[in-house]
Chains A and B, each alone.
Chain A
Amino acid sequence: MNKILKYFVAFFSLIIIFLGTEVTYLSFQNKHKEEKNIFVKSIGLPDLSISTEVRYIRHRSLSDIFSIFNEDPVSFSHYLTTFVYAPSNVVNITPNTIKVH
């Protein structure tokens, strides 16, 4: 084996060893399956507790059915796009386009 091949083999096996250790270490970690199931069973509500400011995202499937459509799809709470593109201001104005002749 020449030098560069030795370096390469050493480097590559280092990656593999590290990957292997990582995977074994992580897969022996307790996933708390039982606790989580007991918890969900005693609460009975779905979803993860993220985005708690908006009630139709927390337990979204059980929340009221229309409020999720009240806002424009680009609005902040469930879409990330608002920092580049703001929701239209028309969204909160009841449209009044019917004109009486």
Chain B
Amino acid sequence: MKQLFNLFLFEYALSSLKRRGAKNIFILIIFFILIFLLSCVFFISNSIKYELNLTLKSLPDIVMQKLQAGRVQNLNIDRISKIANIPGVSEVTPRVWGYYYFKNAGVNFSVVGVSRFSPNYKKSIQKIVNKFDKKIFDKSDTMIVGDGVKKTLEKNYYNKYFDFIEPNGGFKKVYIAGTFKGATSLESNDIILLSNKNARKIFGMKNNEATDITLRVPNPKEVAKIASKLELMYPDSRMITKNDLKISYNNIFDYKSGIFLAMFIIVLFTFFIIIYDKASGLSSDEKREIGVQKAVGWKIGDVILQKFYEASIISVVSFFLAIMFAIFYVYILDAPLIRDIFTGYSILKPAFKLPFIVDFQTIILIFFATVPLYLAATIIPSWVAATLEADEVIR
């Protein structure tokens, strides 16, 4: 330990940094921007992935859709009894859902039907609904909407109810019974939840039709087997398993961070220029200083240790500073500007409150991608200068 850490040498390194203040502050700032942007992108995409994976287990294990001429079509619900007989399947539910285009605002709502409210269902729904009006809810034509839907409707003067336009031109009046809690905003922002009956009416579907069928398979090892069995039974169907969903999640956000990283290439180049500049040699002042140090009895190792301290101070300080600001920026300020890259253009902006996770893997990755590079670029030329004969000082 005594050999490794020399307080006086550390002080000397600090004052040496201070002596070349402007240059070092510039490097510190570039380093800071680099790590800050890198970690912001990783934090956001990791948090979104975390948010998605958090709820992944609550999704149905298999979704079955019917394709006709390559397009998704409604399917007949008489398939259910046959599917329910497959061993390993615990629950089969026909679903009615779709998009409702609200022309006034130019927005798609996601309309989801549920089989009219069983007591069990009511209980769990109550946990996620704000401003729950039980009286309205018990009436038949009611819906629960997301925050974004509520706001859009209010802008268009629909405060208590909404008139859906049916395919045949009629109106369907549905009352708002409550809104989903803000905590679920990233998932619920554009959702309209109403009864199956009303959903069918709005979409113009027949009573024996459903959008798709969801299956629950308690044993995850059986999912693939059952999916292939179903494909044999109904060759016109398309199976989407939970695993497919997971892959699709990862794809889209990896790809978005990729785009961002491509834009960020300028900062990377600046960093590499600094590194190149550092690695390509020392100024004559610095060389002379090393010469003096050697002449008064510093070993090569001492010179390198000093440079190591200097480079570590710069890189470690900017690293921690950047991580600190990145966490503050992403999780407390909710990433203004950068979040738009991930959410994209959207009229119904959800409240973008990301769940906080400390992803040590990412932080360590960022650390090792930047800090050692800089250390090496600083130390190697000093080492070269220190191993030369120290006779420059006597000339």
A48 touches B124 (CB 8 A): no
B214 within 8 A of A: yes
Residue of B nearest to A66 (CB): B70
Q: Which residues in A have their C-beta under 8 angstroms from that of B125?
A: 38, 42
B356 touches A61 (CB 8 A): no
Contact of B355 among A18, A31, A59 (CB under 8 A): A31
B25 within 8 A of A: no
A10 vs B266: C-alpha distance when bound (angstroms) = 33
Given contact pairs A2-B11, A65-B67, A48 touches B59 in the complex (Cβ within 8 A)? no
CB distance from B190 to the nearest CB of A (A): 4
Residue of B nearest to A5 (CB): B11
Residue of B nearest to A32 (CB): B183
Q: Which residues in B have their C-beta under 8 angstroms from that of A33?
A: 54
B341 touches A80 (CB 8 A): yes
B106 touches A53 (CB 8 A): yes
For residues 29 through 50 of chain A, which have their beta carbon under 8 Å from a beta carbon of chain B?
Answer: 29-50
Q: Would you give 25 A-B contacts (Cβ < 8 Å), ordered by A?
A: A4-B11, A4-B14, A5-B10, A12-B317, A18-B324, A19-B323, A22-B324, A26-B332, A26-B356, A31-B355, A31-B356, A35-B127, A36-B51, A36-B184, A39-B184, A39-B187, A40-B59, A44-B93, A47-B249, A48-B187, A58-B99, A61-B240, A63-B72, A64-B71, A66-B70
Q: 8 closest A-B pairs (Cβ-Cβ)?
A: A32-B183, A26-B356, A49-B189, A40-B55, A41-B58, A50-B343, A40-B58, A51-B344
Told that A38-B125, A45-B97, A76-B345 touch, could you supply 8 new A-B pairs with CB distance under 8 A?
Answer: A16-B320, A19-B320, A23-B358, A27-B358, A36-B51, A40-B58, A42-B121, A53-B107
